[in-house]
Amino acid sequence: MKYVSILLLVCAINFANAQVKLLTLSELDNRVAKGKDTTYVINFWATWCAPCVAELPSFEKLKKEYFKTPVKVILVSMDFKSKLKSDVIPFVKKHKLKSEVYIINEKDQQAFIEKVDKKWSGAIPATLIATRTRRLFFEREFTKNELEDLVKNIVHGDYKP
């Protein structure tokens, strides 16, 4: 029985990358609040947003092991919930995305945009870098080096806005 459950767990982990779940903003906030010393790099994107798709590799390839405290990449898709199975999951499979991927699950987009950051126009891509005690929001695209430098500065305490 024990071996079956281990096997199931292993299978679940292997298939986990193709699992895309719905996520509310309060679920995201709770996650960050419970994150101890983890820095969450939360990228807002969509399968239909060409500049977003172009910068995804920068997030996927972020060398998390080089930071002195844990860093977690979370990709939050603004695709319609109804497109979960038709668009988002196939996209994740095709691009072999390793990061956690969610679809935003909020009824009022206007309120959601304001709550993520008051200065956000709603344009994507946009990235929120958050720890338990700090939130930094960037409405822009990143190259791999720019993202790495930015996260490094934030994690190691050198970041000055």
Partner 1 sequence: MMLGIMVKAQTGYQVGDVATDFNLKNVDGKNVSLADYKDAKGYIVVFTCNTCPVAKAYQDRVEALNKEFATKGYPVVAINTNDPGTSPGDSYVKMQERAKEKNFSYAYLEDPNHIYTKKFGATKTPHTFVLTKTAKGNEVAYIGAIDNDQEEVNADKSTYVKAAINSLLQGKKPEITSTKAVGCSIKWKKEGTTK
The least distance separating partner 1 from the CB of residue 98, rounded to whole angstroms, comes to 25
Give every strand in the sheet of 135-138, ordered side by side.
Answer: 20-23, 100-104, 71-77, 39-45, 126-130, 135-138
| Interface contacts to partner 1, rule CB under 8 A | 46, 48-51, 78, 80-82, 107-111, 113-114, 120-124, 139-141
Using CA atoms, how far apart are residues 59 and 56, in angstroms rounded to an integer?
A: 5
Min dist. Cβ of residue 82 to partner 1 (A): 6
3-class secondary structure, 50: helix
Counting Cα atoms < 13 Å in the Cβ hemisphere of 12 gives 6
* CB-nearer residue toward partner 1: 29 or 141: 141
Minimum CB distance to partner 1 smaller for 18 or for 123: 123
Q: For partner 1, which is the closer residue by CB, 113 or 129?
A: 113
